[in-house]
């Protein structure tokens, strides 16, 4: 589905993206249904495993639970992947709390948290890809400025560390076209589903 809101970054098909993730990609998935979002997230994570990458998932507990159930059903041994440092799952709200001050993401704290995490997961020399849901939490609270700042910080990290990043925002009918324009302009590609 292509709308004026999604035209500020190239609109791509999820399957095409999942097969062609490159370093520094910062992609946003705008979704209306959780099952569609989870299909994309599962494909993104499994694509990382197939590509020999370390995968970091920073998501809500409900989404981590659903993702991990899907991965187990697909035959992924998450305990082995964790033990080898190839899969890390973190709680989005807890991670966000580590670098926000009065609801505003603090860049120096963010860099400290994320650099420490990426230093650890990239120590093996493996490329990393990450999914982050912290921006969606800020957005859902109505903290548009906080979400925008966090997206900008992620852009810098993607370019400095060669990180591929997938973000996701649930779409509601109440969201304005202008709101989605702003979100899309902060990403390299948009998956609209």
Q: 24-45, pLDDT tens digit by residue?
A: 888 878 888 899 899 999 999 9
pLDDT: is 85 or 3 the higher one? Answer: 85
pTM of the model: 0.88
| 129-156 pLDDT tens trace | 999 999 999 989 989 899 989 999 998 9
| 65-117 pLDDT tens trace | 999 999 999 999 999 999 999 999 999 999 999 999 998 999 999 999 999 99
HEC profile for the chain? CCCHHHHHCCECCHHHHHHCCCCCCEEEEEECCHHHHHHHHHHHHHHHHHCCCEEEEEECHHHHHHHHHHHHHCCCCHHHHHHCCCEEEEEHHHHHHCCEECCEECHHHHHHHHHHHHHHHCCCCCCEEEEECHHHHHHHCCCHHHHHHHHHHHHHHHHHHCCEEEEEEECCCCCCHHHHHHHHHCCCEEEEC
The whole-number pLDDT of residue 9 equals: 57
CA gap 129, 131 in Å, rounded: 7
Q: Which residue has the tokens 């590509």?
A: 51
CATH of 4-192, one of 3.90.79.10, 3.20.20.70, 3.40.50.300, 3.30.70.100: 3.40.50.300
Please report, for the chain, the start and end positions of each structural domain, with discontinuous segments joined by +. 4-192
Q: Which residue has the tokens 């548009």?
A: 144
Question: 97 is written with which tokens?
Answer: 């709390």
Question: 87 is written with which tokens?
Answer: 């899969």
Q: Exposed, middle or buried, 18 (CB in 10 Å: 0-12/13-18/19+)? A: buried
The answer to whether the beta carbons of residues 181 and 5 sit under 8 Å apart is yes
Q: What are the backbone dihedrals phi and psi of residue 2, each rounded to the nearest 5 degrees, phi first?
A: -110, 125
């Amino acid at each position: 589905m292509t709308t004026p809101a999604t035209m500020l970054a190239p609109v791509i098909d999820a399957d095409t993206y999942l097969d062609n993730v490159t370093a520094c990609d910062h992609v946003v998935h705008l979704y209306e249904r959780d099952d569609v979002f989870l299909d994309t997230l599962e494909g993104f994570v499994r694509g990382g495993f197939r590509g020999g990458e370390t995968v970091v998932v920073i998501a809500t507990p409900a989404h981590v639970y659903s993702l991990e159930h899907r991965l187990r059903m697909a035959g992924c041994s998450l305990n082995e992947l964790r033990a080898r440092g190839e899969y890390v799952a973190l709680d989005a709200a807890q991670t966000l709390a580590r670098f926000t001050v009065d609801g505003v993401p603090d860049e120096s704290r963010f860099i400290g948290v994320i650099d420490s995490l990426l230093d650890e997961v990239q120590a093996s020399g493996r490329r990393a890809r990450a999914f982050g849901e912290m921006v969606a939490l800020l957005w859902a609270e109505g903290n548009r400025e906080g979400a925008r700042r966090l997206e900008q910080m992620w852009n810098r990290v993607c370019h400095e560390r060669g990180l591929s990043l997938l973000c996701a925002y649930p779409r509601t009918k109440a969201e304005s076209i202008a709101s989605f324009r702003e979100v899309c302009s902060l990403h390299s590609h948009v998956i609209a589903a």
